[in-house]
Structure 1
């Protein structure tokens, strides 16, 4: 009897840990649940990985904005961008587009790809560039930053809106820390509220990458805007 008790006490914590991991991987359990009282504006970001979406059902969820992947690198366009863009614009959510930045291409080449693909619409959210790639392809930090600046400058000149940088803490600390002081930051951290190492204030927080919402049959990224509803209106107008 004593042996069974000891065995059970040994096995149960491990089993509980495995169940918790499974729940997290399947989007049942999250580390972050930002309260609407603190983060009244929340949204999601999409790409072709979400496949078929029931937009009517999604529109019944309590989301305020959606960002849609448009492009990647020099010439890749998300095959579902046009469809998502048109359908999202018929919902109550504010809509924006993002570009996945590849370090093996210049900022100018990638800006041209995004501009070819994403309509210039006054009501759209500020454009976003996703900076997280680890492979530098032999480029120096200085060159990488210079090409990012080229990208941001061209995008702002075309759309008349200040672009937002989405990033991970790792990429931020290597390339962005103390740089781009006037650029808003969208930070990924699925474990805790972000805290930038240089003390800069972040504007959007990706708090989950395995969220579950009605209307989407797979896991999806969830995000919270850092500010009030009035601040979000100002963000839209930038």
Structure 2
């Protein structure tokens, strides 16, 4: 379409120049130059039409393969051979350390509570907002209220603990019944410090859309009571 418009333009220009030249007028462009431009554009248009016509008859030929390669990710090969890559080993090791730290922390709190004569029930798997329910022994024939203890075990040197929105809301709702227990585990996992009990650890609800808080351990320990 573009070539057709150009051809029409230059054809009209060529005809006017020729008429002006025949009438003896002074023309700025040579008539022959305009004619050659028209012929050149017409030739380009004809070539393009032949190309488009030939493209209508293009058919896909049978592909010819000169070679091939099978690419297998090295990570897949290692998994098929029962091996683990460095990233997986690192993640597994980190998870194992976390699990051992949490187990030692839970055992430390349970030991303290049972030494007081309390009956301790592990409810960590129930996702109820705390880990241990501690039932104190009866006093003068009356059963005191149980304590709901959220246990946070961290390696010594860690700076923060993470508390979930659910844990914060339960702590605020239960007030004195809720206890945040912090246990610091040595790097060799042979000894622990604590547990440190923090009562009424939170003074505000998390904002909308906040799923957890990171809290400085040092700030919590300033308010904590060491349990022996």
TM bracket (short chain): under 0.3
Where is the helix percentage greater, Structure 1 or Structure 2? 2
Indicate the structure (1 or 2) with the bigger Cα radius of gyration. Answer: 2
TM normalised by structure 2 equals 0.25
Q: Compare relative contact order (CA 8 Å, sep 6+) and give the higher one, 1 or 2.
A: 1
TM superposition score normalised by structure 1:
0.24
